[in-house]
Amino acid sequence: MTADRMLTVEEAQEIVLDSVSVSGIERVPLAESLGRVLAEDVAPRFDVPPHDNSSVDGYAVRAADTAGASGDAPCRLGVLEDIPAGTVPSRKVGTGNASRIMTGAFLPEGADAVVMVENTKQRDDGVEILKAVEQGQNVRYRGEDVKQGQRVLFGGAVIGPGEIGLLAAFQRSQVAVRRRPAVAILSTGDEVVELDEKLVPGKIVNSNSYSLAALVRECNGRPVNLGIARDSEPEIAKAIRSTLSADVVLSTGGVSVGDYDYVKKVLEDLGADMRFWRVKMKPGKPLAYGLLQGKPFFGLPGNPVSCMVSFLLFARPAVRKMMGYGPHDWHLPAVPAILENDLTAGGDRRHYLRARVTRTGGRFHASTVAGQGSGMLSSMTGTNGLVIVETGITSVSRGSEVKVLLMGAVGQAAP
Ligand code: AMP
Ligand code: MG
């Protein structure tokens, strides 16, 4: 059923998120798993670290032998062998003896501590210990990081550099993760030309396909650029049919009420289950959403800023849900911030104003940029936040607290 009423952003987001489900599972090489969501629980098949080892360069000893040792009263021990990292000791350390050991090397049997080389003096017939050690000092025990069979990573975890390191330590060369949705991107418009086409009067360059592909990649989806369809029903229908192998479809343009806005009509003719086509927001009021053969189809507005903001508010959460992220990771993070300038808004719908957000003294500060038109693509550069101004509010003064959605990382303000 198409909602003719103009929906609030939250209503529209709920409809979108309820209509998509988590993608299936695939196995990928570990090195390609960054940012993916784990689809299995993981435990190592061996203890990590796999053997007791030394955390310093020095001498493996029996701690009791060093009791009372100091610079003034060193204790003298015989040296049995050298144990470089990667080798296995051949001698057991008995009372009165030590073995020279390197960082990471296997702790020899009999030893229960390591004296740092800085606290020793090498002698022709052995070594002088200048500082006593406790049992266990400078020893990293087998399995102290993770025990064999101990589950430490769970399905649903987002794989970051730490997870990749740990999986490598477990010798996992492949991991099961949620599939990355293939996201087809289709621009529409008779006026739109490609990057390498001649820009003749009346035409504009296709920026939407590129900004969208980058947004898709940023949330770890797989963008598939399907180029530009001209403003004719048959051409748009043909182009939309060609998107059906994708998991998600994004089109841009042709969704408002102009004479050449055919996207909605074509979707309906193709039997799409349309859910809504307008959202009460600026930029980005026209936004057609429906399921075409069960797959989410976002008819995004053509205006370059509306297109990007609509993606961030509606398509990004859907892609992230499909990729297996948990509900807390679906939406852009919202934070309170101090507004650094006066601003005005139309009051007729919720506004999302592009802003530079910094952090000073533990608080976020937001400065909206000049040029907030939906075609002002420059407002999407150098900005990392969207200041929200609710319906009914026509001005907000400097110093007020506002809600900001973060589109990117926040740095400290320049001093
Ligand atoms: P439409 O929604 O088709 O009426 O387009 C709205 C505005 O967005 C018009 O000014 C279009 O020229 C512009 N536009 C549409 N598609 C693109 C595109 N792919 N790249 C940049 N601007 C576009
Ligand atoms: Mg158009």
Token duo for residue 193: 């030309």
Q: Which helix (H) or strand (E) holds 282?
A: strand 281-282
Centre of ligand 1 from the C-alpha of residue 352, in Å: 19
Query: Helix, strand, or coil here: 30?
Result: helix
Token duo for residue 224: 């598939």
pTM of the model: 0.92
Confidence of residue 413 (pLDDT cuts 50, 70, 90): confident
User: Residue 161 burial (CB < 10 Å; 0-12/13-18/19+)?
Assistant: exposed
Centre of ligand 2 from the C-alpha of residue 195, in Å: 18
Nearest-angstrom CA–CA distance, 288 and 252: 10
User: Mean pLDDT, to the nearest integer, of 204-228?
Assistant: 97
Nearest-angstrom CA–CA distance, 247 and 298: 12
Centre of ligand 2 from the C-alpha of residue 96, in Å: 87
Q: Whose CA is nearest to atom 17 of ligand 1?
A: 302
Residue of 46, 72, 226 whose CA lies nearest to 146: 46
User: Mean pLDDT, to the nearest integer, of 187-203?
Assistant: 97
Q: Which atom of ligand 1 is nearest to the CA of 256?
A: 2
- The per-residue pLDDT for range 91-135, each reduced to its tens digit, is 999 999 999 999 999 999 999 999 999 999 999 989 999 999 999
Nearest-angstrom CA–CA distance, 193 and 249: 21
User: What's residue 3's pLDDT?
Assistant: 59
Centre of ligand 2 from the C-alpha of residue 192, in Å: 8
User: What's residue 259's pLDDT?
Assistant: 85
Confidence of residue 411 (pLDDT cuts 50, 70, 90): confident
User: Mean pLDDT, to the nearest integer, of 369-382?
Assistant: 96
User: What's residue 1's pLDDT?
Assistant: 52
Nearest-angstrom CA–CA distance, 12 and 255: 16
User: What's residue 2's pLDDT?
Assistant: 55
Q: Which atom of ligand 1 is nearest to the CA of 231?
A: 3
Confidence of residue 412 (pLDDT cuts 50, 70, 90): confident
Probe residue for ligand 1, chosen from 191, 225, 252, 261 as the CB with the greatest number of ligand atoms within 8 Å: 252
DSSP of 331-348: SPPEEEEEE-S-EE--SS
Q: Which residues line ligand 1 (CB under 6 A)?
A: 187, 189, 191-192, 204, 206-209, 252-256, 258, 301-304
- The per-residue pLDDT for range 304-350, each reduced to its tens digit, is 999 999 999 999 999 999 999 999 999 999 999 999 999 999 999 99
Probe residue for ligand 1, chosen from 188, 194, 204, 209 as the CB with the greatest number of ligand atoms within 8 Å: 204
Query: Per-residue pLDDT for 414 more than 80?
Result: no
User: What's residue 37's pLDDT?
Assistant: 97
Confidence of residue 4 (pLDDT cuts 50, 70, 90): confident
User: Residue 327 burial (CB < 10 Å; 0-12/13-18/19+)?
Assistant: exposed
